[in-house]
Structure 1
Amino acid sequence: MKVKVMLLAYIYSCSEKTGHSLKRFQNRSVAVWIRVKSIFRRFSLFRKSDGHIKKNQSIRSLKAFISEDKDEKVTPEKFEFKATEIPLKPCSVLQIKDYIQTDMLKEAYLNLLSLHLELKLEQSALGEGESHSNLVNKEKDLNLLYDALRDKMSVIVCNSSALPSCNKELLVYVATIILEEEKRRGEPGAMQGWREAWKDAVLYGVRDSLKKVPLDSREKNASWLAVHLEHLGKAVVEDLQRVKTELLSSYPADFNVFETYVSCHHEAVGEHLKRLLEKVTELKDYYALLDFIIHSYPSDLQDHQRALIMEEDLNKIQTSYCHCQKEDFKLELENFIILETEAWKKKKSPEITEDGFLTSKIHMDICQLIVSYAGNLEKIDENLGKSVVSSCLEELNPFYTRFEKEFSQHTVSLLTSDLLDCCLWVEYHITYINSFSSLKENLQCHKESCSAQVEKLEKEVDGLTQRLRQTLMDHFKSELKPYMDGMMTKKWLKTDEDFKEVISRVENYSGLCKSMRAPSAQIFVNDVHYYVAKEYVSQLMKKKYSCKKPKNEDAAIKLKEQWNELRKLFVQMGSSLKWLYPLGNYLSDIIGTEIEKNIKDLLHPLVSNYPDISKKQLSAVLSFRDNGFSLEKHNVINHFTVLKRDAGNTNHEHSFFTDIE
């Protein structure tokens, strides 16, 4: 009642100055009075509240912290003024401005309300068509003061992120003023966007807080980014802990203070990470960034409407990581080649496993490197791990080519040196046949996730090991050829010198084959067996010598003995070409048969088991037996022709004579 009387007195005094009747102002002020009464009913004195910051340095502790119910119960009355606190006469504009500058928000805002009411009453007192320049200036002053007040409130909110306990009472004033101004929304001259300005101020404060997180230069600290992100995570946790324990009591529940701060931290951290990304060039830093975004940054802070950073930015980081990882892997592969090269230069003997196989650590190093890459990313992102493994597998393809080139260039000189170096050259080839075969087996674990890359690698490894085996075979052939050329000659009948050399070299390779892993060992043994058999038999086709009686019987005996010796050796070596074993006996029987016409009886098993033998080749065998012409020899050839015709063009499991020139 007292307030009403005082207000009416003020209205009356205004009417006296302007010459208008009290009744006119009473009628116009009823609505204003009802509004003022409603305003003051919703305000009350501010109340201080103490907060306590719980120290917890681990970013992963935030989830438990957020789930704790520590919210202070806030009553609506806390954000209301008493009706009697509005001054009947506002203080000067300069005084209100001083209140704002000195953080006296309550005094500033109550006087602004009084000034606002005074302006409305004075505007209402003017008649239609009347104007007063003082009122225009007063309205400008009022708007400027409101702008200044909102700016000051933004500064207070912004600073509260760093020093919440120092601003708790001021924040209550901020919240109360915002609530009141939102009630005035839609009124003529009312200032809009108070809640939005508050949210912007929260964001600015969070940004300023994150700018204070220590950030060393790359030159000063190699782990600059990982250390910074650790500090950043802790800063986020500590900021939100302060919000929960100290700021919630300064706002009404509908402000959703904690959720707002979480969202602002989310946005500010995302902006900060995008700026950091511009400085990242190394693999470890990309990893630190991904680990923070996907794994370390608390999921509780994730904005449900969006990711921490835009998907395109995350894809950019992941792509850059894969590229950087691939370059790192490529560099490591080059280092492996350098290490192997040093061993070749020093003529270092290869290592031998417990089960007797020659080996190099190169395949283990490669596999361990890929596994370590994938293992590091398992906790971050499974798909990213697959992408990295895939890129590494792709990089192995050109690596095989580079390795093969370097290996050939750095080891070829061993062949021009002594016998020990030649043996070392062979051991090196077996070593890498074993190692890359093992690499192929070990990479099978990635076949499910990277099937295309693994299948391509299998072909590459098979090609490399095949070329290494072929190089060994070419060397073996070059060693054997001079002695094979001495077979089926007059000298051959008299001495076993050349044959013994053949046996000696086969035995040497037999010992080396024991240090070669399957299946390469089996393939190589079969290749050696096939070549020796082919070269031995081909000497019969070259018409270098004709035995004639009785030397053909001696030649047959020698051929059978040597063939059986070779057979015994290849059985010991584990050759699977058992179909070659009867051939020597068939040829020996033809050469040693005393009666020429009986040769026809020996042709059937020969043609049946080796249908690719030609008429020319059979004639060469007969010529070795006796190069003279006879009717019986002619009949043998005709019989052979019939056998070949009856056999037809049926495909045979094996071919042999086709490869003999």
Structure 2
Amino acid sequence: MDKSPTTPAGGIFRRLSNFRKSAPRIRRRMSKKLSSSFDKEQEITEIFQIKETHIPSKPCSVLQIREYIKTDELKKAYVNLLSLRLDIEQKRGALEEGASDVDLVNKETDISMLFDTLKNKIADIVRSSTLPSINKELLGQVVTIVLEEKKKSEMMMGWMEMLRNAVRDGVRDSLKKVPLDKPEQNTSWLAVHLGLLGKAIEDDLKRVTSELLSSYPKDFNVFETYVSCYHEVAEEHLKEILEKVTDAKDYKTLLDFIIRSCPGDLRTDQGAVTLDQDFLKKIKSAYCDRLMENFKAELENIINLERDKVWKMKKTPNTTDEGFLTSQFNMEICQMTASYAQQLKEIDEDHGKMFVRFSLEEIHEFHKRFEEEFREHTRSLLTSDLLDLYLWVNYHITYINTFLLLKEQMQCYRESCLTQVVQLEKDMDEVTQRLRQTLMEHFKTDIKPYINGMMTKKWIKTDEDFTEVTSRIESYSGLCKSMRKPASQSFVNDVHYYVIKEYVSQLMKKKFSCKNSKNEEAADKMRTQWKELRKLFEEMGSSLDWLYPLGNYLSDIIGMENEKSIKDILHPLVSDYPDISKKQMSAVLYFRDNGFSLERHQVINQFNLLKRDTANIIHEHSFFIDMK
């Protein structure tokens, strides 16, 4: 058994229960020490019995009796009180019916006051009976008087209640002596105090078994009374301590002291003594509330640390062994949730589950605050140099990865907190989508000027704008490798779709029309650039395979020597991309040659027939309809 005063003495209530259970064995052992042939009750009765010969025929004065009580000569005081009681009874019997005697009334008042004084004195003796220096002779006089009153009066329960109250007061005095530091003096104040408290209770009860049991009759239930009083006073004391507790660790220490040691129903010979369940519930609730407050504060601290130590300091994000940009706060949140929930689960299963629900819901508020702070404190990176811009992109990828992992790691609570986990999944999907969309918008802004230079006279002569576009795609291709799936796949697909859509949409703007066989040159350039784009997006891992044939169809149409041959290409084009409109088809033909011809008119007619045949077909993809 650990008796270190620096530990919370987990087990004190269990030891109280064990002490009760061991009471019969202890009593039998003590009885054997006293006598091998007499019952303990018989011995006590015979040793402390008052015989009639002990009672003086004439009582001494009231002052003398009071002095006997004051000087601890209780037996002398008591036998004189008995004599005074007999004297009053005799005189009362001699009075005629209805008569009164002032002197007799005064004597009755005196004896009542003297018995009260005697009771108070007995209470003081019993109250201090667990002190290191126990006066067994005085205890013997106490037992003598109580046993005599048991024979002479029906008020025995009043005396026993007085004794129990005295024991409780003595226990209260004993526990008040246990050192108790202030929280500001010692961070381990409660653990130290509870350790000392447990040891004090244990030592006192050992003293009761070794030194007091031999002084009382069996039916006094002295041992059980002490255990019950220690339980009661300890609970009172813990309620007082609770008012000083503010930290989660101290609530946990207090709960460990109670729950891990208290079987819930500590029984005495007189009945059940149970821990106040409202009190226990109050501590559990306070502990749970404190952990919830701590959790919220830790989430806020995560934002503050990212702001002060990462964004403001322009710290480069860490990279995992797999090459993914990473932040650690997802692990911090998961560890906090698991740790706090486990701490609560150990003291109450329902509180543990409640905390998990709370933490999942609190993450909803956290990610909104995080996004606000992130946008506010990284906006300036966009207007700085290229290194800052690169850092801005990396931050977005880092937090995409972090929230993806948080979503994945919280799946362990799906069975117990389905509603909250589903909401968290939705939140994490939305926040990663917004971060991804922000990156996408920046990418669009970045390549827009160069995309707009496509399908012009300059474009036919030089690859300058196209090279700028591919350069930026390659940059993002490298960045995508540091982004986790499925976000990286979605981002690559978005980039692929946007580039192809913008590239093709330049044909629809009628900025340029080929002349003098320029259409063949334009078709060759488009075919070459399309192959380069395809290679880039295949390397990036785009899953939009259905976009690849489009460039071939368009470059073939643009490069045809005569428009009559174009009709052969229309069928696969319309079949694969049924949302292409007549206006868009006309724009492609315009880019090839803006001159009017009968053949061109026939191409459009053929196109219209094909569109009519595919009008009711539901196609898996759409493309041209998204162009302005």
Tell me if TM exceeds 0.5: yes
Q: Shift of the alpha carbon at 1:258?
A: 2.6
- Residues 79 and 175, structure 1, Cα contact 8 Å, conserved in 2: no
Counterparts of 1:194-343 in structure 2 under 5 Å? 194-295=159-260, 305=272, 307-311=274-278, 313-341=279-307, 342-343=309-310
Q: Shift of the alpha carbon at 1:434?
A: 1.2
Write the deviation string for residues 223-243 of structure 1: whole angstroms up to 9, x where unpaired: 323322222222222222222
Q: Shift of the alpha carbon at 1:539?
A: 1.0
Whether 2:621 is the aligned partner of 1:654: answer: yes
2:608 pairs with 641, 652, 656, which one? Answer: 641
Q: Shift of the alpha carbon at 1:55?
A: 8.2
Alignment match, 2:139:
171
Which amino acid counterpart does residue 434 of structure 2 have in structure 1?
Answer: R
Q: 1:184 to 1:555 in 2, by over 3 A?
A: farther
Alignment match, 2:26:
70
Which amino acid counterpart does residue 131 of structure 1 have in structure 2?
Answer: S
In structure 2, C-alpha distance between the alignment counterparts of 1:179 and 1:110, rounded to whole Å: 13
Residue range with higher mean Cα deviation, 573-582 or 443-452: 443-452
In structure 2, C-alpha distance between the alignment counterparts of 1:102 and 1:651, rounded to whole Å: 111
Which amino acid counterpart does residue 26 of structure 2 have in structure 1?
Answer: K
Which amino acid counterpart does residue 524 of structure 2 have in structure 1?
Answer: I
1:498 pairs with 465, 474, 499, which one? Answer: 465
Alignment match, 1:594:
561
Alignment match, 1:121:
90
1:406 pairs with 367, 373, 383, which one? Answer: 373
In structure 1, C-alpha distance between the alignment counterparts of 2:529 and 2:3, rounded to whole Å: 90
Whether 2:79 is the aligned partner of 1:110: answer: yes
Alignment match, 1:18:
none
Counting matched residue pairs gives 603
Whether 2:571 is the aligned partner of 1:604: answer: yes
Q: Shift of the alpha carbon at 1:649?
A: 4.1
Residue range with higher mean Cα deviation, 139-148 or 475-484: 139-148
1:150 pairs with 104, 119, 129, which one? Answer: 119
Residue range with higher mean Cα deviation, 117-126 or 381-390: 381-390
- Residues 264 and 274, structure 2, Cα contact 8 Å, conserved in 1: no
Whether 2:419 is the aligned partner of 1:455: answer: no
In structure 2, C-alpha distance between the alignment counterparts of 1:597 and 1:492, rounded to whole Å: 27
Q: Shift of the alpha carbon at 1:297?
A: 5.9
- Residues 55 and 238, structure 1, Cα contact 8 Å, conserved in 2: no
Which amino acid counterpart does residue 171 of structure 2 have in structure 1?
Answer: V
Counterparts of 1:126-145 in structure 2 under 5 Å? 126-145=95-114
Which amino acid counterpart does residue 178 of structure 1 have in structure 2?
Answer: V
Residue range with higher mean Cα deviation, 150-159 or 408-417: 408-417
In structure 1, C-alpha distance between the alignment counterparts of 2:427 and 2:302, rounded to whole Å: 18
% identical equivalent positions: 62
In structure 2, C-alpha distance between the alignment counterparts of 1:244 and 1:625, rounded to whole Å: 111
Which amino acid counterpart does residue 262 of structure 1 have in structure 2?
Answer: V
Q: 1:620 to 1:109 in 2, by over 3 A?
A: same
Residue range with higher mean Cα deviation, 610-619 or 296-305: 296-305
Residue range with higher mean Cα deviation, 140-149 or 94-103: 94-103
Which amino acid counterpart does residue 121 of structure 1 have in structure 2?
Answer: Q
Q: Shift of the alpha carbon at 1:61?
A: 6.1
Q: Shift of the alpha carbon at 1:352?
A: 1.4
Which amino acid counterpart does residue 642 of structure 1 have in structure 2?
Answer: L
Which amino acid counterpart does residue 143 of structure 1 have in structure 2?
Answer: S
Q: 1:148 to 1:513 in 2, by over 3 A?
A: same
In structure 2, C-alpha distance between the alignment counterparts of 1:56 and 1:506, rounded to whole Å: 67
- Residues 265 and 274, structure 2, Cα contact 8 Å, conserved in 1: no
Q: 1:583 to 1:307 in 2, by over 3 A?
A: farther
| Structure 2 portions without partners, runs of 5+ | 32-39
Please state whether the residue corresponding to 1:193 is helix, strand or coil.
Answer: helix
Please state whether the residue corresponding to 1:392 is helix, strand or coil.
Answer: helix
Which amino acid counterpart does residue 439 of structure 1 have in structure 2?
Answer: L
Which amino acid counterpart does residue 292 of structure 1 have in structure 2?
Answer: F
Alignment match, 1:436:
403
Please state whether the residue corresponding to 1:178 is helix, strand or coil.
Answer: helix
Counterparts of 1:377-392 in structure 2 under 5 Å? 377-392=344-359
Residue range with higher mean Cα deviation, 475-484 or 355-364: 355-364
Alignment match, 1:159:
128
Which amino acid counterpart does residue 132 of structure 1 have in structure 2?
Answer: D
In structure 2, C-alpha distance between the alignment counterparts of 1:321 and 1:60, rounded to whole Å: 18
Which amino acid counterpart does residue 447 of structure 1 have in structure 2?
Answer: R
Q: 1:556 to 1:55 in 2, by over 3 A?
A: closer
In structure 2, C-alpha distance between the alignment counterparts of 1:89 and 1:60, rounded to whole Å: 59
- Residues 262 and 301, structure 1, Cα contact 8 Å, conserved in 2: no
Q: Shift of the alpha carbon at 1:301?
A: 5.7
Alignment match, 2:545:
578
Write the deviation string for residues 534-582 of structure 1: whole angstroms up to 9, x where unpaired: 1111111111111245222222222222112211111111111111111
Write the deviation string for residues 200-239 of structure 1: whole angstroms up to 9, x where unpaired: 2222122222211111223322332332222222222222
Please state whether the residue corresponding to 1:291 is helix, strand or coil.
Answer: helix
Q: 1:307 to 1:490 in 2, by over 3 A?
A: farther
- Residues 169 and 250, structure 1, Cα contact 8 Å, conserved in 2: no
Residue range with higher mean Cα deviation, 204-213 or 271-280: 271-280
In structure 2, C-alpha distance between the alignment counterparts of 1:56 and 1:528, rounded to whole Å: 66
Alignment match, 2:158:
193
Q: Shift of the alpha carbon at 1:356?
A: 1.2
- Residues 591 and 621, structure 1, Cα contact 8 Å, conserved in 2: yes
In structure 1, C-alpha distance between the alignment counterparts of 2:90 and 2:168, rounded to whole Å: 39
Alignment match, 1:7:
none
TM-score by length of 2: 0.88
Whether 2:70 is the aligned partner of 1:101: answer: yes
Alignment match, 2:37:
none
Q: Shift of the alpha carbon at 1:509?
A: 0.7
- Residues 266 and 302, structure 1, Cα contact 8 Å, conserved in 2: no
Alignment match, 1:513:
480
Which amino acid counterpart does residue 224 of structure 1 have in structure 2?
Answer: W
Q: Shift of the alpha carbon at 1:176?
A: 4.3
| Structure 1 portions without partners, runs of 5+ | 1-53
Counterparts of 1:353-372 in structure 2 under 5 Å? 353-372=320-339
CA RMSD between the two structures: 2.7
In structure 1, C-alpha distance between the alignment counterparts of 2:535 and 2:180, rounded to whole Å: 76
Residue range with higher mean Cα deviation, 382-391 or 138-147: 382-391
- Residues 318 and 327, structure 2, Cα contact 8 Å, conserved in 1: yes
- Residues 567 and 606, structure 2, Cα contact 8 Å, conserved in 1: yes
In structure 2, C-alpha distance between the alignment counterparts of 1:283 and 1:300, rounded to whole Å: 27
Q: Shift of the alpha carbon at 1:299?
A: 6.2
Alignment match, 1:394:
361
In structure 1, C-alpha distance between the alignment counterparts of 2:69 and 2:230, rounded to whole Å: 28
- Residues 123 and 135, structure 1, Cα contact 8 Å, conserved in 2: yes
Greater RCO structure (CA 8 Å; 6+ sep)? 2
Residue range with higher mean Cα deviation, 615-624 or 529-538: 615-624
In structure 1, C-alpha distance between the alignment counterparts of 2:352 and 2:596, rounded to whole Å: 77
Which amino acid counterpart does residue 152 of structure 1 have in structure 2?
Answer: K
Q: 1:577 to 1:131 in 2, by over 3 A?
A: same
- Residues 483 and 499, structure 1, Cα contact 8 Å, conserved in 2: yes
In structure 2, C-alpha distance between the alignment counterparts of 1:427 and 1:55, rounded to whole Å: 56
Please state whether the residue corresponding to 2:26 is helix, strand or coil.
Answer: coil
- Residues 541 and 620, structure 1, Cα contact 8 Å, conserved in 2: yes
In structure 1, C-alpha distance between the alignment counterparts of 2:43 and 2:4, rounded to whole Å: 34
